[in-house]
Amino acid sequence: MSYTDTERETGHATIGSDEETVARPREIAPALSGAPPRRALADGLGRRWEGRVRRVLSGKTRGMTLIEIMVVIAIIGIFATAISYGVFTYLQKARVDACRAQLRKIGNVLTIYAAEHDFPSSLDVLTDRSSGFAPLRDRDLIDPWQTPIQYNYPSSRSGELFDLCSAGPDRQPGTEDDVCLDD
């Protein structure tokens, strides 16, 4: 039995004479005509989606449109901005914490040195290997922002023996973001 193009499109087949038309489901008519059977996924989706599903299942899909690519790039940019802001804030806090730990270490060394001697006029005494008391290295006197640690004896603040401060993230001494030992 052979089918005409109209019969294949409509899903109706003529059996016998022209007056006898038997309605066949759309899935049976193409199968009888030798066309490949439809996939189960395409059934029931409607005409609008049938072609798209068929192209996807057959591997003949088009690529992404320019708008879709731009939307994906925008979403990636938003995520990258949010993540980098969080990481930057975390790194700044970590540098401040590391600076406070470094200042405590230098303060402890100064206190130990002052127990045997008097407080030094500069921190260079704590790194001088020739004096026999050199628990610090030169790099220990540089803060995480690569500026020298500031030391004043006697203290310019009330209640403190000495001042030990870092210039902080802006690298300018005497500003609001300075990190000091007593903070």
Is the whole model's pTM more than 0.75, yes or no? no
Closest CA to 127 of 117, 138, 118: 138
Phi-psi region of 44 (alpha: psi -120 to 50; beta: other; left: phi over 0): left
Average pLDDT over residues 26-47: 53
Model pLDDT, residue 42:
46
- Tell me how far CA of residue 74 lies from CA of 68, 77, 79, 87, 136, in angstroms: 10, 5, 9, 20, 50
Domains belonging to the chain, first-starting first, are: 5-58 (no CATH), 95-180 (3.30.700.10)
Q: Of all residues in the chain, what percent carry a pLDDT higher than 70?
A: 70
pLDDT band at 7 (very low <50, low <70, confident <90, very high): low
Closest CA to 99 of 173, 175, 159, 167: 167
pLDDT band at 61 (very low <50, low <70, confident <90, very high): low
Model pLDDT, residue 67:
92
Report the b/e string of 43-73 with b at 16+ CB within 10 A: eeeeeeebeeeeeeeeeeeeeeeeeeeeeee
Q: What single-letter DSSP state applies at residue 120?
A: P
| Spatial distance between the Cα atoms of 15 and 145, rounded to a whole number of angstroms | 90
